[in-house]
Structure 1
């Protein structure tokens, strides 16, 4: 009940930031949902997996790195600049190893 009025705050937020804030809130809501399900007893608490947040972070980072390497156009320019800084600027398309092999033939 209390989350609905607070979610209305997105209506006054800049449109360019709404998606990022919504995705952040969605991640926290999913985490909270599963924590409540474990506390109630609907889901068994995993004794083998001590830090599920690390697994989720690793999978998310893998998806981001794959998209960065294969589909750079899906990122906004400001995010692409940060990823270029973190991972290093990729070589131009004609300097990749598969392109060099094709041009040598």
Structure 2
């Protein structure tokens, strides 16, 4: 069953533009992890104490925190199109010498 479901997905990803493959793969990975833990919990392999209600909110919060940290500290890791969107969402950051860390030095 798994091979029958993953082969067409992999084939579709192979013919996709190279610039979009990583984004699509990360989206599919997130859905696969969510499906895996749902199946494990439904099968009873996950103890009741390990079940977190609304775990998607926890994962989203952690992911957003990582993205915001990288945006503030390591802007060069983003592609320019993503950086433009983040600049629009968070506002354009101040020049490097006007940040509190730079003033303390």
- When the two structures are superposed, what TM-score results if normalisation uses the length of structure 1? 0.88
Q: More relative contact order in 1 or in 2 (CA 8 Å, sep 6+)?
A: 2
Q: Which runs of 5+ in 2 are unaligned?
A: none
Match of 1:14 in 2: 17
CA-based RMSD: 1.6
Match of 2:8 in 1: 5
Aligned residues: 102
Cα distance change, pair 77–42 in 1 and its aligned pair in 2 (3 A): same
Match of 1:35 in 2: 38
Task: Decide which of 53, 61, 64 is 1:61's aligned counterpart.
Answer: 64
Output one character per residue of 1:14-68: Cα deviation in whole Å (capped at 9) or x when no partner: 1000000000000000000000001111112458732111111000000000000
Q: Does 1:26 align with 2:44?
A: no
- Helix, strand or coil: the match of 2:46? coil
- When the two structures are superposed, what TM-score results if normalisation uses the length of structure 2? 0.88
